[in-house]
Amino acid sequence: MPIPSPAAPDLSAAPRAHLFGVSAAMVTPFTAEGAVDLARLAPHAARVMAEGADGITLYGTTGEGASLGQADRKAMLDCVLDAGVAADRLTAAIVACDLETAEAQARAAQARGVTRLLLTPPFYFKGIAEDALFDWVQAFVRRLRDTELQIILYHIPQVTGVHFDAPLIRRIKDACGAAIFGVKDSAGSWEHTAPLLPMDDLAILIGDERLLARAAPLGGAGAISGMGNLMPQVIGALIREGQTNPALNALVDEIVTVPVTPLVKGLVGAVAGDDGWRHTRAPLQPASASVIAALAPKVQALRG
């Protein structure tokens, strides 16, 4: 049975052309042998939507997207759609350095009705010049000019080594128009976020939950959030109310001291009472059981 779409978040204070809410940056469950565990994925997707997420993002950093091939991506998308999550509530991350693969990932999502893409920049070559990155994005958009896809530029330089800074974002938006829907800013730097917020023709999405309450009243459109796997209702409140949550900030401070993705997966398992969520795909390694045990009560307290 399809999952009802949640009511749109009340972000009337934000001078924003695009309102987004909270999309859970979905963790990807694996079996002990390293296969995608669809039996765990489907109920988790349904659970985060039922708990207040406005949408789900597949194949992102928290989802180990760089470790997922085309067959895995298709199986996961089919699984989530079959679980009742509507296509218009889904965002598909594009994780590729070559344009051919990036286009193939985009068209596979579009074929199943998913029109919103989170575009990771080409991350293999470091020290990419602004003009070169502009050309790469523009070439990607041109390849998809026969579509109506909405592209979110993904700024996460601590992972990719590639920067989408404010002047380049403005240049890309002006050149590509409606194809560029927004930016996900996961740098965790207010100095980078602040110049983006006045861009009211873009959805400015915050990846670091500690900055979300500060950004929302100034035009932040929402979040693609790893913590959305654990407490989407809490993340949604930051967006709606624009008031910081010290307990959440303290928890995130602790989480980011270790590899984040394995730990978030382990905490999902702790909430579900299912140790199978600790499995990762190489080259990532599972989070420490002791760290999961230490942080799980803090997650439960925030969940209420």
Question: Does the annotation flag 62 for ligand binding?
Answer: yes
Question: Does the annotation flag 28 for ligand binding?
Answer: no
> Among candidates 18, 5, 20, which has minimal Cα distance to 240?
20
How many CB atoms lie under 10 A from the CB of residue 218?
17
Out of 59, 173, 184, 265, pick the active-site residue: 184
CA distance 23 to 56: 5
Out of 59, 154, 173, 265, pick the active-site residue: 154
List Cβ neighbours of 297 (8 Å cut-off, separation of 6 or more): none
Catalytic residue status for 59: no
Catalytic residue status for 154: yes
Q: Which residues are catalytic?
A: 154, 184
Binding-site residues from annotation for pyruvate: 62, 224
